[in-house]
Chain A
Amino acid sequence: KAGVTQTPRYLIKTRGQQVTLSCSPISGHRSVSWYQQTPGQGLQFLFEYFSETQRNKGNFPGRFSGRQFSNSRSEMNVSTLELGDSALYLCASSSMGYEQYFGPGTRLTVT
């Protein structure tokens, strides 16, 4: 079974721009979660989607948004990028259990 895939793997954007990251979960997994990893703040939960509905949300500003499609694929959008948004963005999927399986991440650099 294929793992979680994320595209693109690397991205360079300029302050003020917006960016969309994509995540395809493991086949059959209906829950997709997003996390941000930075050297300063570590790993932080952004949000979780289940059956196209946001089920949980972390403590991030409204510039960070997401959505999930009927095939469980998910996208995350960050508007008005700031330098501090430079991070590794990780997507994780899960089925009925509580374990989350992560993708390789998208490394975003904001200049």
Chain B
Amino acid sequence: AQKITQTQPGMFVQEKEAVTLDCTYDTSDQSYGLFWYKQPSSGEMIFLIYQGSYDEQNATEGRYSLNFQKARKSANLVISASQLGDSAMYFCAMRGLYSGGGADGLTFGKGTHLIIQP
């Protein structure tokens, strides 16, 4: 079984500041993927970033980076230079990966509601 914990229900951040959204996970899988998604009020889930459990380097995608600490089972999302358009719900998720291809369904955390203030 997999579990994702996001301990920050809500966050207020000033525009242009960096933001760290916390995520810890628990799994018995040896191979797994960690994901972050953004969900604006419109409801669509927007893929932000992916980190494989065997990736040695932290993933980065533009202003997003994933601070992966495997021993601590931590996968925090860092948003640099926040913008007003970053205001949304953010979900951390994971899935076990199969050696022959394929994967489990995504297990999501409860989410963090991020509000960027001008």
Contact = CB atoms under 8 A, between A and B. Distances in A.
A45 interface: yes
B44 A102 contact: yes
Contacts of A46: 105
Nearest to A102: B45
B47 A35 contact: no
Contacts of B105: 33, 35, 45-48, 56, 58
A56 B50 CA distance: 21
B8 to A, nearest CB: 15
Nearest to A104: B44
B108 interface: yes
B37 interface: yes
Contacts of A50: 102
Contacts of A96: 101
Interface of B: 33, 35, 37, 42-47, 50, 52, 91, 93, 95, 97, 101-111
Interface of A: 33, 35, 42-48, 50, 55-56, 58, 88, 90, 92, 96-105, 107
